[in-house]
Structure 1
């Protein structure tokens, strides 16, 4: 597949629909030198997910039954927003662990929301049943080509903004965001996967030699809690032999606090996970290595201003 052409086409579709999110170059000694941040938590609905959701809707014919999606929270909000923006009905299934802030956000965007017991996998099973019953179009959170191409526009945009980094740290859940980055850069930059120890689907898959089911726990589970890594992400990760590092929940909390205290950027645990690798030493840059961090989500629970 010609991923770069797909991502360029997605960029063209998304013009006027998604935001160009800002970049910060920070001199804090987080990894031995300056660090560049892409603030994707400032995207519509508070995460990069708006890119993939809107690209899918704009590149497919939506049936009369509308749209359906399963989500840990951020993807559901993105689909709800994109559906409303494009004039379609949407049903969103989320697990209870999505938390009240993300559930309230999805409801505020007008989607038909169903909260199911358990984790993301349970919501996905319910969404598939609804798809089969009604003919609604499923928008997968991470393991579908239009989703990955949409997420790939984030890295393409960042490069157009002057990204100079040798290495980019990206948090991984199901793998849509990092798959998009790999599909765009195609080995031209080092992409490092950062996962919480309790939500390490890519790490487990690389160790096992194939995608495998894992147990999901921890403070970032409502955004990074995929039980199994996406096939697209796994294949690209193997193709480019990317490194995967693990961080503890305490490291993520520290990174959240650092982003707030140093930059007044309020992010959710998933949004701080990539930076946690630098602060904890899980990833140690070589002398002179230029490092960048993708800050992927800002839907903090509980909402501090609710």
Structure 2
């Protein structure tokens, strides 16, 4: 079990506040729910970001990137947006394009299994004979040729905008808890989320990026659905599972767990492989 403290990097709280102002009318302010007393020796809250548009936090960063691009006239709105297919990013880009009434082109690698779901809602979809890297290259070429905005997710050209957009979750948490917050837990693979919340709340809370064993993540995912009817994917479930081991909160600690994504369906949630988390933590 590992947790990494995240550095704020090149994104500042001012950047996050600008992203919040830019996206306030187009993103959901997702709810915060309290885990019932007795499960943990601390106050543990769940930030239900899996209820965000397109099923997770990346849509915040994509909205920030695209709206900032429109403000700067950095791309041709008639050419719209272009992205290579990756599940979370493609879903976010397609949603943002539809919400802002922009065309969107998705390049899907032939190596993917069938036609990707989010790509089916794109204005135009191309299948690239190759891997995701080949699809990314074609998306870049399309952007250069047409004036479209390339939305690569965590590519270097938009990393800061994705991080600042994700950091708006931190501002929401601070408001929702009235500043009564010590620690924020995010899953390992949500790198932009961890960096963004760190930038938003630097000096106020500890932000950790948690890694949990796969079997414990499966238990957490099952527990969240069967005990709370919260459907999340394996990545998000690992942030909750982390609290059971070395991440177990101290008495009196105020902890928010960000359930970052729901790239899943209830039918895929595994059967229990061990007792519920509530039993393990007793």
Shorter chain as normaliser: what TM range? 0.7 to 0.9
Q: Distance in 2 between matches of 1:286 and 1:272?
A: 20
Which whole-Å deviations, capped at 9, do the CAs of 1:80-113 have from their partners, x for residues lacking one?
A: 111111121212345678767x922442x33434
- Scaled by the length of structure 2, what TM-score is found? 0.77
Which structure 2 residues correspond to residues 262-273 of structure 1 after superposition, within 5 A?
262-273=227-238
Long gaps (5+) in structure 1: 195-245
* Larger of the two Rg values belongs to structure: 2
* Contact persistence 2:90–2:118 (CA under 8 A): no
Match status 1:86 vs 2:86 = no
Residue 145 of structure 1 aligns to a residue whose secondary structure is helix
CA distance in 2, matches of 1:174, 1:120: 19
State the Cα distance separating 1:16 from its structure 2 match.
1.8
Relative distance call for 1:48 and 1:111 in structure 2 (3 A) is farther
CA distance in 2, matches of 1:32, 1:295: 20
Aligned length: 250
Question: Which piece of structure 1 moves more, 141-150 or 73-82?
Answer: 141-150
Residue of structure 2 equivalent to 1:47: 56
Q: What do the CA deviations read for 1:48-82 (whole angstroms, capped 9, x no partner)?
A: 12211111111113324321223531121111111
Alignment of structure 1 residues 9-158 onto 2, 5 Å: 9-27=18-36, 29-60=38-69, 61=73, 62-63=75-76, 64-94=78-108, 103-107=116-120, 109-114=121-126, 121=133, 123-143=135-155, 144-158=159-173
Contact 1:38–1:295 (CA under 8 A) maintained in structure 2: yes
Deviation per residue, 1:161-191 (Å, 9 max, x gap): 1253311111132621111111111132111
Q: TM-score, normalised by structure 1?
A: 0.72
The one of the two structures with greater contact order (alpha-carbon pairs below 8 A, sep at least 6) is 2
- Report deviation, 1:286: 2.9
Report runs of 4+ in structure 1 exceeding 6 Å deviation.
96-100
Q: Which moved more, 1:122-131 or 1:249-258?
A: 122-131
